[in-house]
Amino acid sequence: MNLKNQFKNAIFNMVNNIDDYELLKKEFNNLRKTFNSEFVPDKPNPDLEAEFNSQKDNMRTNVNELGAQLKDSRQTHSESIDRSRKGNSKLIRRIETLNEAIDVRRTEKKENVRI
């Protein structure tokens, strides 16, 4: 039986004891003793590590650039909203002035009709 199947069977046996903590713990320790001693980590590939670091640096650069773009967009959006608010305020004041003028004319018209 190859190592992969042995590991799979050991995991299966361990999980079968999931309801009994003591047995689960015992199976886990057996599993760890059996397979951890045989585990030898792969030596890192320098080319892959260099590629990974390069991509990580590129991603950091992209994040920084996108953050700056977002900051600029937020500033532009904020300025646009401020301009819209100022324009709306002017229009509202103009509408209020016109409504007051209309009210004055209506009042004058009603007074002229009474006379």
Amino acid, single-letter form, for residue 71: K
Decide if pLDDT at 52 tops 70: yes
DSSP state of 39: -
End-to-end CA distance of the chain: 116
Percent with pLDDT over 90 in the chain: 50
Decide if pLDDT at 96 tops 90: yes
Cβ–Cβ under 8 Å, residues 38 and 3: yes
Cβ–Cβ under 8 Å, residues 83 and 77: no
Cβ–Cβ under 8 Å, residues 11 and 31: yes
Q: Using one digit for the tens of pLDDT, what is the confidence trace for 55-71?
A: 999 999 999 999 999 99
